[in-house]
Structure 1
């Protein structure tokens, strides 16, 4: 019976020897914390960015639909359609920026074509700026296709940078439309050629 404590002490010493040293455990925990914090911080910043953009886009489109003329309402519809297509794409296909993104390429081509058509038809100057901005994401896709070494973050930034400028541009165009209505009493929305081919657009 006297050897029992000695046997238990040896077993305890053997278990402690095979276990991880406390210093190693503390080091591993400390090394893991910054990664978790960085990931959490990045997620919070991304959610904040999306919330700010959606708020800006919602305010601009509501203002344009309520106070704008035909071109302003058309641009609001284009922006809403872009957002809806982007959300549907992300529900079916996860975003990927390591290679050429065909889903966003299709959305950007359709948006650029619609905005260019609006710029040609509208009796406004600002749709020309919007059409130029819509071309920037296409340049991002071309750059990605030509140079595969483009960093995914750079590819993503080139795609979304112009999107932040479109809602303020729409607000400015709608505000200018309201000012012209105040001073002139009317503000023609469409060019003559477009109005001749579309008589229903004359009063808009």
Structure 2
């Protein structure tokens, strides 16, 4: 239980920092992690999780989080969201491994599901700190890629 309390504390500190001081990508990933935290807590209140078979509830949470993080990674004007997306896809490998090998020990399945999540709070803190550093140096920090193609209306004018 102490391990969970430490992780949740680190995560909450990272979330508050990112939501208060981060740019668009930092806030978006913080929102994704907050969704995961709340969904996970709700899941554990409603269902007992035993890790003896594919954990459908966590699989759904992980699928949503991976898709959302990949969307941020593909649209953010930052490199770090790609790292976050990879870390969000690793639990999907755990679910796939469990589906393929039902003899996988439950502790191994649990560890594969949660181990990568320990890297997300420090990554989010570092990304937010870098955003603040760029703001201090340049006065602005571009958050998102903007399409360079003119819209069809503007193209007709040119």
TM-score of the superposition, structure 1-length normalised?
A: 0.72
Shift of 1:193: 2.5
The alignment status of 1:178 with 2:132, answered yes or no, reads: yes
Shift of 1:183: 1.0
Paired residue for 2:33, among 61, 73, 79? 79
Give ranges in structure 2 of 5+ residues lacking alignment: 152-158
Larger radius of gyration: 1
CA RMSD of aligned residues (A): 1.4
Name the structure, 1 or 2, with higher relative contact order (CA <8 Å, separation 6+): 2
Aligned to 1:127: 81
Measured against aligned partners, the alpha-carbon deviations of 1:4-45 in whole angstroms (never above 9, x if no partner) come to xxxxxxxxxxxxxxxxxxxxxxxxxxxxxxxxxxxxxxxxxx
Shift of 1:138: 0.2
Aligned to 1:107: 61
Residues 13-52 of structure 1 aligned to structure 2 (within 5 Å): 47-52=1-6
Q: Which runs of 4+ in 1 moved over 4 A?
A: none
How many pairs were matched up? 150
TM-score of the superposition, structure 2-length normalised?
A: 0.92
Distance in 2 (alpha carbons) for counterparts of 1:144 and 1:171: 32
Aligned to 1:35: none
Distance in 2 (alpha carbons) for counterparts of 1:193 and 1:90: 42
Aligned to 1:161: 115
